[in-house]
Amino acid sequence: MEKPNLFYIQNMLGGDTGFEQKLINIIKAEFPEEQQTYQNCISSKDYKATSEIVHKLKHKISILGLEKSYQVAAAYELKLLDGQLDLKEEFELILATITNYLQEI
C-alpha cells in the first residue's frame, strides 16, 4: 500500500516551514475528529452522512499524497449514497495508515 508523505505540504504551498508545522498540527487535531464522525455515521448506518464525512476526509488523503487511496475514497463516497459498502474495509485501512503516520510525524 502507498505511504503518506508531505510532498504537497512541503512543495506546493510556498515552502514555508513554519506553516508546514502549523498545518500538520491542524491535521493532527482535525483528522481524529473526522475519523470518529465517520465511525459514528457508519455505525448508525447513516450512509448519506457517512458519504459526507468521507468527502471531507478525502481532502486530507490527497494532501498526504495518497493518490490511489484518494481514488478509493472518491469511489466509496459515491457508493455510500447507494448504500454499497464493498470499499469499507479498504477505506478504513487507509484511515488506519494515516492515523499511524500522524503519530510518527
Partner 1 sequence: MNYIIIDDEATARAIISQLCSNIEDLNVIEEFPNAIQAIKYLNQNEVDLIFLDIHMPDFTGFDFIETIKNPPRIILTTSDSNFAIQAFEYDCIVDYLVKPITQERFNKAIQKAKSQQVQSAPYQSAEPVETTSGNDLYVNIDRRLIKIDIPSIYLVEAKGDYIYVKAENQNYTVHSTLKKIEDKLPNDLFLKVHRSYIINVSKIIDIEDNSVLIKKDVIPVSRSNRPELMKRLNLL
User: For partner 1, which is the closer residue by CB, 39 or 62?
Assistant: 62
CA 42, CA 50: separation in Å to the nearest integer?
Answer: 6
Q: Smallest distance from the beta carbon of 38 to partner 1, in angstroms?
A: 14
Single-letter code of the amino acid located at 32: P
User: Closest Cα to residue 76, out of 62, 89, 63?
Assistant: 89
Q: Does 17 bind partner 1 (CB under 8 A)?
A: no
Neighbours of 56 (CB within 10 A): 13
CA distances from 84 to 6, 48, 56, 75 (A): 32, 11, 19, 10
Q: Does 63 bind partner 1 (CB under 8 A)?
A: yes
Compose the 19-48 pattern: x for residues touching partner 1 by CB under 8 A, - for all others. x--xx--xx-xx------------------
Q: Does 68 bind partner 1 (CB under 8 A)?
A: no
Q: What is the contact surface with partner 1 in residues (CB under 8 A)?
A: 8, 12-14, 16, 19, 22-23, 26-27, 29-30, 52, 55-56, 58-60, 62-63
